[in-house]
Structure 1
Amino acid sequence: MWLLWIKRYFMKQALHDVSSPSPRLLSRTNLAKDKYRYKMDYPCMGTCVIINIKNFDLKTGSLETRNGTDVDAAELEKTFSKLGYKVTLVHDQTADQIVDLLRDVSTQDHSNSGSFVCVLLSRGDEGGIYGTDGSFVNLDELTKFVDGNGCRSLVGKPKLLFIQAARGNKLDDGTLSEGDSMDGQTPSRIPVEADFLYAYSTTPGFNAWRDTQNGSWFMQSLCEMLRRFSGQLELMQIMTRVNNKVALEYKTTPGRSGKRQMPCIVSLLTKEFYFP
């Protein structure tokens, strides 16, 4: 009887040791998670600036009204508000006004924010977008305001840019498929361009499609995937699902020969990013 009790005691102790990680192991696990995941326990998720360009000055000639973009703007405002962002939505800005808006962002204190989001909805070409006056704004000119030199309170924090604009005039016909800084440590220097995500609606040189009634393929897919998977999946996983939806579920009407579109995600993020 005594031997049986001892045997049961040690069996229970062994099971407890296997199923209950030691405090030291848990501590190492948490440190590893912190190292590879952006800190998001700030009072605010951050600022989200949405610049929606629908109407262009008549003197621009070839820049036509972007019907359907207001649908995107409204859906984006709702989506990022639900994610906890302080959303600023502006319409029909000239090139100078767009630059001034991002310059103003750089002067604000983002110490209590975990990230920054900027959404650009306009006509564009490779490297940038057009203001309502037809003047071209280089994307580099905008991002310099929130990079490591332009805004110190955003250093080390994710800066997400979502761009709905053409990057050229080429059309995609598709192809046949065979099948379906740590607390307590000395601050370290990081690259000025670190912690950016550029999510383009299309690949370099190609057109980007927008439904005049339902909004653009890319932005509508982005909002849907953010609604469905925020809090579950890491951002790059979410963006992969956006890519999947746009690439496989959308094509133009038969009159346009069923053209396709492939988003382009360029990540300079240094850690995993999870929405709450």
Structure 2
Amino acid sequence: MFHYKHNSPQILSTSYCMSQRLYSPKCALGCTHVKSDVFIDSLLSLAASKDLSNFSCLAIVFMSHGDELGLYATNGPITVKFMTDQFKGDECQFLIGKPKLFFIQADRGMKLDHGIVSRPTASRDETDSRGGNEVNSNEQKIPAEADILLAYACAPGYQSYDEQKRAWFIEDLVFVLKNIPPAGLDIHQILTRVAFLVSLKCKSNNGSSDKKQVPYIVSTLTKTMYLRSNVDPGQVQSSYN
């Protein structure tokens, strides 16, 4: 897990939080081989912590096995819904209006993606539309489900893959985060690049290298979250507006 502090500049050390710790996770919610009850207790304690008011973002990385029903801990399952529910606006007031990111590296079923043949298609112009009523008030209600992003390693029902015990999704996520250009990228651009890199890979199975994977993103973010390179090695700045 990693946070963004309100202090200026807002800094995330990718070398600490991502490239090193994702393959040997020892974080605020526990260590490797965590038990479900220990994880849940730590999750509830974190969600109730007033310290969260000092941070402008929350991100949790969960790496395990899983299936259609949830994620595996050493002594029982954990559902993604339970995890995200603890940080919704109506449960965790300290993170209201702040981005809450969840990166899930786990299988979501047993289906195999054999890939398809891609053929060029005619391009079309993208349109931008706006809707809703403008609210002129310093205080307004926002949806309890707002400002949450879920980045799964694979689509529902499918398996995720790794090479030499390095998961495709996490490997490419680390790579993109460590190579953010100085001008910055928003979180959706970052995850689009990750999806592209993952989609290029093939998994060998019984002599056939045709198994594919693509990350699956679900987002209710209401603002653009930018990550920008910092002058210090392995660090980036963030903003959400």
Structure-2 change in CA distance of 1:95 and 1:78 (3 Å)? closer
Note if contact 2:5-2:11 (Cα within 8 Å) is conserved in structure 1.
no
- Which 10-residue stretch deviates more, 222-231 or 92-101? 222-231
Note if contact 2:5-2:57 (Cα within 8 Å) is conserved in structure 1.
no
| Alignment pair present for 1:128 and 2:92 | no
CA–CA distance in structure 1, aligned partners of residues 42 and 145 of structure 2 = 20
CA–CA distance in structure 1, aligned partners of residues 78 and 88 of structure 2 = 17
- Alignment correspondent of 1:173: 114
> After the TM superposition, which residues 139-178 of structure 1 pair with which residues of structure 2 at under 5 Å, given as runs?
139-178=80-119
Structure-2 change in CA distance of 1:46 and 1:157 (3 Å)? farther
- Which 10-residue stretch deviates more, 199-208 or 109-118? 109-118
Identity of aligned residues (%): 33
* One-letter amino acid of the counterpart of residue 220, structure 2: L
CA–CA distance in structure 2, aligned partners of residues 93 and 251 of structure 1 = 31
- Alignment correspondent of 1:70: none
| Alignment pair present for 1:235 and 2:176 | no
CA–CA distance in structure 1, aligned partners of residues 59 and 18 of structure 2 = 16
CA–CA distance in structure 2, aligned partners of residues 230 and 76 of structure 1 = 20
- Alignment correspondent of 2:176: 225
Q: Following TM superposition, by how much is the alpha carbon of 1:256 offset from its aligned partner in structure 2, in angstroms?
A: 5.4
| CA shift digits 1:182-209 (9 cap, x unpaired) | xx95221111110000000000000011
Structure-2 change in CA distance of 1:76 and 1:271 (3 Å)? farther
Q: Following TM superposition, by how much is the alpha carbon of 1:141 offset from its aligned partner in structure 2, in angstroms?
A: 1.1
Root mean square deviation of aligned Cα: 2.8
| Alignment pair present for 1:43 and 2:7 | yes
Deviating runs (4+, > 3 A) in structure 1?
44-48
The structure 1 residue matched to 2:58, chosen from 116, 120, 143, is 116
- Which 10-residue stretch deviates more, 266-275 or 103-112? 103-112
> After the TM superposition, which residues 1-276 of structure 1 pair with which residues of structure 2 at under 5 Å, given as runs?
42-43=6-7, 75=19, 77=21, 88=28, 90-109=31-50, 110-133=52-75, 135-179=76-120, 185-213=137-165, 215-229=166-180, 232-248=184-200, 250-253=201-204, 255=206, 257-258=208-209, 259-275=211-227, 276=237
Note if contact 1:127-1:139 (Cα within 8 Å) is conserved in structure 2.
no
Q: Following TM superposition, by how much is the alpha carbon of 1:154 offset from its aligned partner in structure 2, in angstroms?
A: 0.2
SS at match of 1:92: coil
| CA shift digits 1:123-179 (9 cap, x unpaired) | 11124201111x111111111211112210100000000000011000011111124
Q: Following TM superposition, by how much is the alpha carbon of 1:227 offset from its aligned partner in structure 2, in angstroms?
A: 1.1
TM-score (norm 2): 0.75
> Could you say which structure has the higher strand fraction?
2
CA–CA distance in structure 2, aligned partners of residues 122 and 41 of structure 1 = 28
SS at match of 1:90: coil
- Which 10-residue stretch deviates more, 99-108 or 226-235? 226-235
Note if contact 1:46-1:117 (Cα within 8 Å) is conserved in structure 2.
no
